[in-house]
Amino acid sequence: MGRYRGPKNKLARREEVDLELKTPGSSAQAALLRRLNIPPGIQPSKKRKKVSDYVLQLREKQKVKRIYGLLEKQFKKYFLTASKKKTAIGTELLKLLEKRLDNVVYRLGFSPTRSAARQLIAHGHVLVNDKKVTIPSYQADKGVIITLKEKSFKIPAVKKMLAEKKPLPSWLVKKGPVGKVIAAPKREDIRADIDEQLIIAFYSR
């Protein structure tokens, strides 16, 4: 199955949480927040059905996949890579996802969403250690310096983002249009509403 091309708010409403798919402060995000707890459908039921452990695990996996904009094959590959580590599988999985170049560009505040970051990367606007990288899944490890091409500063969305001061996680630093990875991501810097143990349980069935 290819990448989802439908309404992004529908995905967020399905998972009943803001997946950071819409530009913060936009009318689209405001509309989502108003209807977040209303399930998609013509006549959604007000009754909450009791769900099984499997459904809870599936929904958590789907939520994280959608936050980072991945397909099932990509996501499972990250899980298998994390499972080979000697440390906690769930934490390693989230670290791998956080170090994706598209996520780092988003976290540095160069783009309003991860999908916008992927577009910047795919179109050759992002430089990693002064070299153009067009692969969104590139792993930005400690010491990597990330910036944008000079022509990118003219893009309205980029220009607006650079003018704003977005809080950074502890493993990133930024000065103007230049960002740097100074450490590995920490669990406390990643969304607290993610339960990685449910994802581990899903793939361990």
pLDDT tens, position by position, 12-36: 666 667 677 666 656 655 555 566 6
- The stretches of 69-187 forming alpha helices (DSSP H) are 72-83, 89-98, 101-107, 114-122, 156-163
Q: How many CB atoms lie within 10 A of CB 110?
A: 25
Residue 47 has pLDDT above 70, yes or no: no
User: What is the pLDDT, as a whole number, of residue 54?
Assistant: 95
Where do the domains of the chain lie? 8-87+191-203, 100-183
CATH (residue range 100-183): 3.10.290.10
Q: What average pLDDT does range 186-193 have in this prediction?
A: 93
CA distance linking residue 183 with residue 173, whole number of Å: 10
The CATH class that applies to domain 8-87+191-203 reads: mainly alpha
Share of residues in the chain with pLDDT > 70 (%)? 77
Instruction: Give the model's confidence band at 176: pLDDT under 50 very low, under 70 low, under 90 confident, else very high.
Output: confident
Q: What average pLDDT does range 177-183 have in this prediction?
A: 96
Mean pLDDT, the chain, as a whole number? 86
With CA atoms as reference, report the closest residue to 128 among 117, 112, 114.
117
Residue 1 has pLDDT above 50, yes or no: no
Residue 93 has pLDDT above 60, yes or no: yes
CA distance linking residue 148 with residue 36, whole number of Å: 34
